[in-house]
Amino acid sequence: MIELNTPNYRRVTFSLALGSFLVFCNLYLFQPMLPYMADYFSVSETQVNWIFAASTLGLSISLVPWAVASESFGRRNVMIFGLLAMPFIGLIMLFSQSLLMLVIARALMGLALAAFASVAVAYMVEELSESAFSQAIGGYIAANSLGGITGRIVGGTITGSFGWQEAVITMAIVSLLGAILVAYLLPKQTRFTPQRGMLRQHNRALIKHLSNRALWFAMLIGGVNFALFVNLYSVMSFRLVAEPHYLPIGVVSLIFLCYLAGTLSSKLTATWTKRKTTLSGIVTGTIISMLGMFVAYVEEIPFMMLGLLLISFGAFFSHTLAYAWVSRKATHAKATATALYLMHYYVGGSIGGFFLIYCWQHGGWEYVMAGGTLLYVLIFMLCRLLAPHERSTYQVTEQGRADSVILAKNSNLEAK
């Protein structure tokens, strides 16, 4: 096992954090650019959302297959393949003469991103000692969050100053250099041996998880929660570039700094679960997030930013607790269960964009609040359905406390 503060430990933590940073930079590169791309291709806000939705959908549907593939071909090989594919797919985007071609390229990008995202933590768990892993996971998840914020800001600022092609070229160059560095630094696995013929076993685990209501309802909560969270930001981007604000894309991209409120709230969940129930925390986070949506109704930028801060705080709080619920309630194949949760999470983000942006198109923020309220009510209903599966007296075991701390950090996978 690789121990804390050894040369191999530093190589593993740096290379995986760098890989994580690159993955989330590429995933969220186009989100702040959506208003610009709508004008560029002369399409509606709903149509242009396919650029963002294609990558998250591609990521979501390939998380589990890549995790299964890594059992046969090795974690490191899968991760390096995904990282090296990213810059080349980025260059394919430059030849996209239509929205359809760009959407297809973004879907391929999602497939490549999932190769790294699906198995990086498994690599760390297998290769690092317990104390080393506890330290390393924090840096890895911080890189998730930093990559997501950086990708959005870089995409928005470069596009606003030069154009979207220049933003893609910049990201492709950085991704290629970073992928080569990760391939050079990341040690080969010594604690895991790939095995063929595991497909049937994984399929049985998937079916069993999806038939377990205590797990599936929590996965649905994660999906609906992310549908609201990430797409309220997308709608806000369209709102700020339109009248009466007319802000440039580069400035609008800075709203994603409000994500940092979620970094704070995710860490608070570990304290919450020591005293209160998971479901009460999910409900509390959902209420805070919904309050933020209504606060953002005021047509003044300080109120909009306060609304986004509340949305981020509440959504990450609920996401972390739902993610932890799935980890605890899964009696077997926990890695498969959490991969399924993330699949629901990103599918929700993809589909939710079309719904909320459609509301924005046809009725402004008032319709967004109406549509968003329906989704928040759905979360409350799912929590009610989960209530029988939660013990009346909630006690957190020592392992549960450790899981809560790790999952609090994992909430940024959003990273999420």
What secondary structure letter does DSSP report for 211?
T
Tokens 């790790």 sit at which residue? 406
For the beta carbon of residue 186, count every other beta carbon within 10 angstroms: 24
Q: What pLDDT score was predicted for residue 247?
A: 94
* Alpha-carbon gap, residue 358 to 374, rounded angstroms: 14
Q: What is the pLDDT along the chain (416 residues), one digit of tens a residue?
A: 888 889 999 999 999 999 999 999 999 999 999 999 999 999 999 999 999 999 999 999 998 888 888 878 888 999 999 999 999 999 999 998 899 999 999 999 999 999 998 888 888 888 888 888 877 876 787 788 889 999 999 999 999 999 999 999 999 999 999 999 999 999 998 877 776 656 666 667 677 777 788 888 999 999 999 999 999 999 999 999 999 999 999 999 999 999 889 878 877 887 887 888 889 999 999 999 999 999 999 999 999 999 999 999 999 899 888 887 886 777 666 667 777 888 898 999 999 999 999 999 999 999 999 999 999 999 999 999 988 887 633 444 334 444 444 444 444 444 44
Task: Label residues 293-332 b or e (16+ Cβ within 10 Å = b).
Answer: bebbeeeeeeebbbbbbbbbbbbbbbbbbbbbbbbbbbee
For the beta carbon of residue 57, count every other beta carbon within 10 angstroms: 20
Q: What pLDDT score was predicted for residue 249?
A: 92
Three-state DSSP at 47 gives helix
Are the C-beta atoms of 113 and 86 separated by less than 8 Å?
A: yes
What secondary structure letter does DSSP report for 6?
S
**Which amino acid would we find at residue 395?**
Q
Please tell me the total number of residues recorded for the chain in this structure.
416
What secondary structure letter does DSSP report for 265?
H
Q: What pLDDT score was predicted for residue 331?
A: 67
Strand partners, 128: 2
* Alpha-carbon gap, residue 87 to 379, rounded angstroms: 38
Q: Do domains 1-190 and 198-416 have the same CATH topology?
A: yes
Which segments of 159-317 are extended strands (E)?
none
Domain 198-416 -> CATH class: mainly alpha
**CATH number assigned to the domain covering 1-190:** 1.20.1250.20
162: Cβ contacts below 8 Å, ≥ 6 apart: none
Residue spans per domain, the chain: 1-190, 198-416
* Alpha-carbon gap, residue 39 to 378, rounded angstroms: 34
Are the C-beta atoms of 60 and 342 separated by less than 8 Å?
A: yes
Q: What pLDDT score was predicted for residue 196?
A: 65
* Alpha-carbon gap, residue 328 to 207, rounded angstroms: 18
Tokens 């924005």 sit at which residue? 360
Tokens of 181: 């560095």
Please name which of 217, 225, 199 lies closest in space to residue 72, comparing C-alpha atoms. Answer: 199
Three-state DSSP at 96 gives coil
